[in-house]
Structure 1
Amino acid sequence: MNDATLAIASAAAPAHAPARQSQFRLIAACSIGNALEIYDFTVYSFFALLIGRLFFPSESPFGSLLLAVATFGIGFVMRPLGGLVIGSYADRRGRKSAMTLTIALMVAGTLCIALAPTYAQAGVYGSLVLLAGRLLQGFSLGGEVGAATSMLMESGSVGQRGFRVSWQLGSQGISALLGAFTGAVLYATLTPHALESWGWRVPFLIGLAIAPVGLYIRAKLDETHEAAPDAPSPLGTLMREHGGKVLQGILSVTSGTVGMYLVVFFMPTYMIRVLKMPPSLSLLSGCATGVTMLVASLVSGRLADRLARRKPLVMGAIAFNLVAVVPAFWLMTRFPSVPLVLALSVLLTAAANLGSTPMLLVLMELLPAGVRASGLSVIYSVGVTVFGGSSQFVVTWLIAKTGNPLAPALYMVACGLVTLLAVWSIREHRAD
């Protein structure tokens, strides 16, 4: 997170804002939980082949990989439950309390993964410890996004809420970059034996070291939402009065989440397994797409603050990816080279992220403050679980069954069409 950028943001914060946290502290506190989770996801994705061999031995290389990405995906199964429980807690007890809970759960999950004994050391029990870590991480992130993004939106001026919210997505880019860079360094400097015995655990231990910082700065935040003592159940109100908006929201995040988990997180595995590139080079795709996510998210946040209507930007980004994704994957498979794969991955990532921040704002402004954290938690967690969390498993299975290297692109096209129709059906409401 660039100090100069955040200093400018802090200086630009409105003078009339209540004596609340600086822009720097607010953005850092609200972004660090999601960033830590995405960092762990990135590292897990980039070491999926190795983790598959260590925890899920199989006679088939694709069998081990399928089990590894299935464990990656099963953490998403807990997200809707986390979204319901923690999102409701955030609307009842406040965003700050919910965010403290989520980061504590993330620490517990990361600790399980970092210290899990391998299958050779503990048999199936080692695999279960790894699975428990993924379940804890999924539960925590299910409620993290709704609470933290709501706080970013609700703090400070209306005219800069796009910039603030964009850091929630931009932090994912920073995390993907750091996770990929760490993986690339480890692959380049350690022997295969060292990587298998202890090297793959190092990135997760680094993530654990960051967590206390997140707990500390979140404890210093000012609350932005206090529900009335006699307020009805947020979940009951959400489903009764805003159920249609929730469904629209779930379908609206389909394309973005599938694109992120395939282009950013699955691409290294795709480059190794399908394009036959060396691991140390293929991990550069994570670095390139991480930087792109950061830059494109911040640009889209600024655009969202300036545009009178945000839907055209969202729909334009989705439409571009629909047109570009199949030719991009065709070029990768026909002319496999690191520079080409990096360039095309950057292009797809930039287009997708230009529409992500405006989409978040459109969804949050549809929901009143009393159900905002619950609503966004349910939308994000269900959308990511059904489509994003399963995407790596689905395309790995499709490639194995059909032998078609364009399977990821075709799956992304199908999801993009669903999202385009859903966004078109939303009536944009720009809340003050």
Structure 2
Amino acid sequence: MTTLDLAQPATTPAVASNRPLNREDYKTLGLSALGGTLEFYDFVVFVFFANVIGSLFFPADLPDWMRQLQTLGIFAAGYLARPLGGIIIAHYGDKIGRKKMFSLSIFLMAVPTLVIGLLPTYEAIGIAAPLLLLAMRVLQGAAIGGEMPGAWVFVAEHSPVKNYGLAIGTLTSGITGGIFLGSIFGVWLNSVYSQAEIHDWAWRLPFILGGVFGLVSVYLRKFLHETPIFQELQARKAVDRELPIKTILREHRQACVVVALMTWVLSTAIVVVILFTPAYLQKVFHIAPAMALKANAVATVTLTIGCVFWGWLSDKLGTRAAMVLGWGGMTATTYLFYMNLPGTEASLICTYATVGFFVGAISLLPVVGVRAFPAEVRFTGLSFSYNMAYAVFGGLTPMLVSVWQQVDVMAPAHYVAAMGVLGVAMGFWPLACKGWQARS
């Protein structure tokens, strides 16, 4: 059995070729990234309006901390649903094709997002309101569980070897662009409408528009082509007849552990630094909502740029060097940001943007994760390990940090910095990892 060096792209992630990116590659990247942007926007916009949603979908006489905890619980439900949706979608992605499941996942995201924007509140229908909201978040979670691993596999299997990291980094930047889109929408709403108008009706706009644009993206994905690697598997009838998940659990456990640990780093960076922090700035440091969201939007831009940069750097210097520099930098800049709060408007934006750039090292997870599994079970392997880890760490992190910050206001900084140290340590995983498949 062959082995894989974590630090170098020994696995050929696509058809063996040193050709440059061509027009067809750019079309694949563009349409995949656009769909990912819209789908991830649909998933994360919930957290930008968590305070308003909590006040509308739960009893008014609940203590504020209890309402916030319940709202974050519904947010977490989306993460807990990811493994089931991801495993099912990935199973059929390995059996009948990447493209079909790639289109299905965005459809399953768009419809619940549209429904959330139309849901009646607790005042109108009582306990049914949070229950329906919970159901929609579960459907969204199932969809996103298949989307991100599917997008990474789809693009990696289309990309030439020499631009493997750049292609995955660019795709990941498109997915994080969905966070930027949600943040920009939040800034716009808070600038144009009063808090009373947002509470009464304007909060619905980002969900309704997200649902509509998501359905448009479903149509656009019909112009994509199946990956060359899956076409080759079908041609030589090498699609695994066994349940892919059985193969993964029997033969690729160590690869699953590596992806799960890197997912812990990724989920913490995204959930705490990007999704959790705007509300944290408002509640703990009393920073105006518009200012908090403005700084978050700038940080999300640098995150998006960072995803491309760290993917490109992995092509040039190797994955280990990129992991050490990227996640080591995240640890340092995390403390720089949180320890200088509230600061001035300029310092808030500058330090938030800096840590955002280093959070872009999250694109190194798919760089390692896609090549960790052979093509026959690649979608399932990446989806299973990524989504199981994200369900635990992504779902519990907001509640953990919320409770922790009651006794230590620097709790977000400590947690993110610890994950940066873990990311650096992962860069020194043994060069030959027993059980990792090197073939495509």
Aligned-partner Cα distance in 2 for 1:293–1:31? 15
User: Could you say which residue in structure 2 is the equivalent of 1:412?
Assistant: 416
Residue pairs, 1:232-311, within 5 angstroms: 232-307=242-317, 309-311=318-320
Contact 1:260 1:349 in 2 (8 A): no
Q: Structure 1 residues 258 and 97, CA, compared in 2 at 3 Å: closer, same or farther?
A: same
Say whether residues 1:389 and 2:395 are aligned partners: yes
Where does structure 2 lack aligned partners over 5 or more consecutive residues? 1-17
User: Could you say which residue in structure 2 is the equivalent of 1:344?
Assistant: 351
Say whether residues 1:162 and 2:172 are aligned partners: no
Where does structure 1 lack aligned partners over 5 or more consecutive residues? 1-12
Residue pairs, 1:124-273, within 5 angstroms: 124-224=127-227, 225-226=230-231, 227=233, 228=237, 231-273=241-283
Aligned-partner Cα distance in 1 for 2:274–2:380? 27
Aligned-partner Cα distance in 2 for 1:114–1:302? 38
User: Could you say which residue in structure 2 is the equivalent of 1:50?
Assistant: 52
| Corresponding letter in the other structure for 1:386 | V
Contact 2:173 2:303 in 1 (8 A): yes
DSSP 3-state at the match of 2:339: helix
User: Could you say which residue in structure 2 is the equivalent of 1:323?
Assistant: 332
| Corresponding letter in the other structure for 1:28 | G
Give CA-to-partner distance per residue, 1:405-426, whole Å, 9 cap, x none. Answer: 1011122233334444444325
Question: How far 1:16 moved relative to its partner?
Answer: 10
Q: After the TM superposition, which of the residue ranges 183-192 and 208-217 deviates more from structure 2?
A: 208-217
Contact 2:303 2:358 in 1 (8 A): no
User: Could you say which residue in structure 1 is the equivalent of 2:73?
Assistant: 70
Contact 1:180 1:287 in 2 (8 A): yes
Aligned-partner Cα distance in 1 for 2:311–2:335? 28
Aligned-partner Cα distance in 2 for 1:15–1:319? 31
- What is the aligned-residue identity percentage? 27
Contact 2:38 2:217 in 1 (8 A): no
Contact 2:83 2:384 in 1 (8 A): yes
Of 64, 77, 101, 2:104 maps to: 101
Question: How far 1:23 moved relative to its partner?
Answer: 2.7
Aligned-partner Cα distance in 2 for 1:191–1:327? 33
| Corresponding letter in the other structure for 1:318 | W
Aligned-partner Cα distance in 1 for 2:144–2:386? 10
Aligned-partner Cα distance in 2 for 1:16–1:45? 36
Q: Structure 1 residues 146 and 230, CA, compared in 2 at 3 Å: closer, same or farther?
A: closer
Question: How far 1:327 moved relative to its partner?
Answer: 4.2
Contact 2:77 2:137 in 1 (8 A): yes
Contact 1:258 1:415 in 2 (8 A): yes
Say whether residues 1:357 and 2:366 are aligned partners: no
Q: Structure 1 residues 405 and 188, CA, compared in 2 at 3 Å: closer, same or farther?
A: same
In the superposition, the TM-score normalised over structure 1's length comes to 0.89
Contact 1:169 1:293 in 2 (8 A): no
Question: How far 1:245 moved relative to its partner?
Answer: 0.9
Question: How far 1:167 moved relative to its partner?
Answer: 2.4
Q: Structure 1 residues 112 and 407, CA, compared in 2 at 3 Å: closer, same or farther?
A: same
RMSD, aligned CA? 2.2
User: Could you say which residue in structure 2 is the equivalent of 1:8?
Assistant: none
Say whether residues 1:369 and 2:375 are aligned partners: yes
Q: After the TM superposition, which of the residue ranges 69-78 and 36-45 deviates more from structure 2?
A: 36-45
Q: Structure 1 residues 119 and 322, CA, compared in 2 at 3 Å: closer, same or farther?
A: same
By relative contact order (CA 8 Å, sep 6+), the higher-ranking structure is 2
Give CA-to-partner distance per residue, 1:183-222, whole Å, 9 cap, x none. Answer: 1111111122221121001011111221233212221221
Give CA-to-partner distance per residue, 1:69-107, whole Å, 9 cap, x none. Answer: 121111100111112111111111110011121111102
> How many residues are matched?
411
